[in-house]
């Protein structure tokens, strides 16, 4: 199965309602327009789609399973909980779906050098992987703080032949890595391709990344109809930039009976600098090429963020999420560090699956809403990644919490 290309485009200027657009420095206007033309052409080219579909199947390992988590369902009480197992995709997260699509596009555009940013390291690893596959040079920008908490992924990228560039600016996390990647891009536009990892940035990135990720929802829809004969009552996915959520929501946006629920990182709670829940504490702003909900202070400077999960630790949210939020089609909740940590352990104990800390936010929220749902309904959770990368930092966090209590 391949993604659903071209069925829900933004307007010609890349807007989803009041959100999106193309707020880039002048030097990037022409390269971004060139990228849009190349993508619009590629996505309708049968040869491009065929190669992408073949690699999704034989390299990424798609379709990923849809798994009914019976013990979790029983302990949470309520609906049948199904997990879309993106953790079983090659490299351990959904990020590879997008990285592969864009790397094929980079090669088609004749770009031999790929730059990327990464937060948790999963997008960096996915990008390094596809660059190895397609013989492209790869440089990944990563905040120093994230390099520390995701040191295993740093080494994985290096093993795959990528250069990891440390970013010491700001909070030294994802936002700062994106700034640095854009500075590289603006300097090397002629030969470099910027492989952005989420539904963020200037048009066409939010569209392109969502379309490459939409394979998740297309598969899940078909798998769920086959398994249960019905659509889910609710879908839950974590939202950093929001690519795994857009990927699974996309196939259900036109089904008004399906509740779409995005889960943001509540960190230590909703006060400035201590969380990354844009819909809870943010307002309209322009950051890194797009107009969306942003965590900012009264003067328009971007606030620091915190989450135990590096992949959700970001001050803005994808513009299409902002539009789904304001139009009421999707709803957004948040889960704090402690509940995410609890869900991380719970899925291991009850299902033998260690989820990524990002995905643990979705699991936690699913367990929170399950008791209120009918027992014959279906709750679909996007298990966007596996937790191997997080084992060390979870161990540290648990030790700290034990110490705090003792």
Q: Does 230 bind another protein (CB under 8 A)?
A: no
Task: Kindly list the distances between the CA atom of residue 108 and the CA atoms of 105, 310, 353, in Å, as whole numbers in the listed order.
Answer: 5, 32, 38
Q: Does 143 bind another protein (CB under 8 A)?
A: no
The residue from 6, 25, 77, 272 that contacts another protein (CB under 8 A) is 25
Q: Is 117 an annotated catalytic residue?
A: yes
Q: Does 170 bind another protein (CB under 8 A)?
A: yes
Q: Does 392 bind another protein (CB under 8 A)?
A: no
Q: Does 405 bind another protein (CB under 8 A)?
A: no
Give the torsion sign (CA, 103, 165, 356, 19): negative
In whole angstroms, the minimum distance from the beta carbon of 315 to another protein comes to 9
Q: Does 226 bind another protein (CB under 8 A)?
A: no
Q: x/- binding map, residues 280-319, to another protein, per CB under 8 A?
A: ---xxxxxxx-x--x-x-xxxxx-----------------
Catalytic residue among 95, 111, 175, 389: 95
The residue from 8, 75, 113, 188 that contacts another protein (CB under 8 A) is 188
Starting from the edge strand earliest in sequence, which strands make up the sheet with 283-287, in order? 15-16, 19-23, 289-294, 283-287
Q: Does 70 bind another protein (CB under 8 A)?
A: no
Using the rule CB under 8 A, give the single segment among 27-35, 42-50, 68-76, 344-352 that binds another protein: 27-35
Output 23 or 67, the one with its CB closest to another protein. Answer: 23
Closest CA to 386 of 172, 38, 67: 67
The residue from 182, 215, 347, 354 that contacts another protein (CB under 8 A) is 182
Output 175 or 278, the one with its CB closest to another protein. Answer: 175
**What is the β-pairing status of strands 80-85 and 66-68?**
antiparallel
Q: Is 175 an annotated catalytic residue?
A: no
Q: Is 95 an annotated catalytic residue?
A: yes
In whole angstroms, the minimum distance from the beta carbon of 402 to another protein comes to 36
Backbone angles phi, psi at 70, to 5 degrees: -70, -40
Give 135's contacts (C-beta < 8 A, 6+ positions apart): none
Q: Does 272 bind another protein (CB under 8 A)?
A: no
Output 176 or 250, the one with its CB closest to another protein. Answer: 176
The residue from 62, 107, 111, 175 that contacts another protein (CB under 8 A) is 175
DSSP, res 127: H
Query: Going along 212-303, which residue ranges are E strands?
Result: 234-238, 259-267, 283-287, 289-294
Q: How far apart are CA 242 and CA 184, in angstroms?
A: 24
CB–CB of 168/151 below 8 Å?
no
- State which H helix or E strand residue 95 sits in: helix 95-108
- State which H helix or E strand residue 343 sits in: helix 337-351
Give 146's contacts (C-beta < 8 A, 6+ positions apart): 118, 119, 120, 121, 172, 173, 174, 177, 310, 313
Q: Which residues bind another protein (CB under 8 A)?
A: 13, 21-31, 169-170, 175, 178-179, 182-183, 186-190, 283-289, 291, 294, 296, 298-302
Catalytically annotated residues: 95, 117, 384
């Amino acid at each position: 199965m391949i993604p659903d290309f071209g069925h829900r485009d933004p307007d010609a200027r890349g807007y989803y309602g009041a959100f999106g657009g193309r707020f880039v420095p002048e030097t990037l206007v022409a390269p971004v327009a060139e990228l849009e033309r190349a993508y619009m052409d590629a996505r309708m080219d049968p040869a491009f789609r065929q190669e992408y579909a073949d690699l999704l199947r034989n390299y990424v390992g798609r379709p990923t399973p849809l798994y009914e988590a019976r013990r979790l369902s029983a302990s949470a009480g309520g609906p049948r909980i199904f997990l879309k197992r993106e953790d079983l995709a090659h490299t351990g997260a959904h990020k590879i779906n997008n990285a592969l699509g864009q790397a094929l596009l980079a090669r088609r555009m004749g770009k031999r050098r790929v730059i990327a940013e990464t937060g948790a390291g999963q997008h960096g690893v996915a990008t390094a992987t596809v660059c190895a596959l397609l013989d492209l040079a790869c440089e990944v920008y990563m905040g120093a703080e994230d390099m520390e908490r995701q040191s295993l992924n740093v080494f994985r990228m290096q093993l795959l032949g990528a250069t990891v560039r440390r970013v010491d600016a700001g909070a030294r996390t994802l936002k700062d890595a994106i700034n640095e990647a854009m500075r590289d891009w603006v300097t090397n536009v002629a030969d470099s391709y910027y492989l952005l990892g989420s539904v963020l940035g200037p048009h066409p990135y939010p569209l392109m990344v969502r379309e490459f990720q939409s394979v998740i929802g297309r598969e899940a829809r078909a798998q769920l109809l086959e398994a249960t004969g019905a659509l889910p009552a609710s879908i839950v996915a974590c939202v950093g930039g929001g690519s795994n959520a857009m990927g699974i929501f996309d196939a259900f946006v036109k089904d008004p009976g399906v509740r779409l629920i995005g889960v943001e990182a509540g960190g230590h709670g909703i006060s400035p600098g201590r969380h990354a829940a844009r819909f809870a504490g943010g307002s309209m702003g322009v950051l890194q090429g797009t107009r969306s909900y942003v965590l900012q202070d009264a003067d328009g400077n971007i606030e620091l963020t915190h989450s135990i999960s590096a992949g959700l630790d970001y001050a803005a949210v994808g513009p299409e999420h902002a539009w789904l939020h304001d139009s009421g089609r999707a709803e957004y909740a948040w889960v704090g560090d402690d509940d995410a940590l609890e869900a991380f352990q719970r899925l291991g104990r009850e299902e033998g699956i260690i989820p990524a800390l990002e995905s643990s936010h979705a699991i936690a929220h699913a367990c929170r809403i399950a008791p209120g749902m009918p027992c014959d309904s279906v709750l679909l959770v996007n298990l966007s990644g596996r937790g191997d990368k997080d084992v060390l930092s979870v161990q540290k966090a648990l030790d700290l919490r034990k110490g705090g209590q003792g």
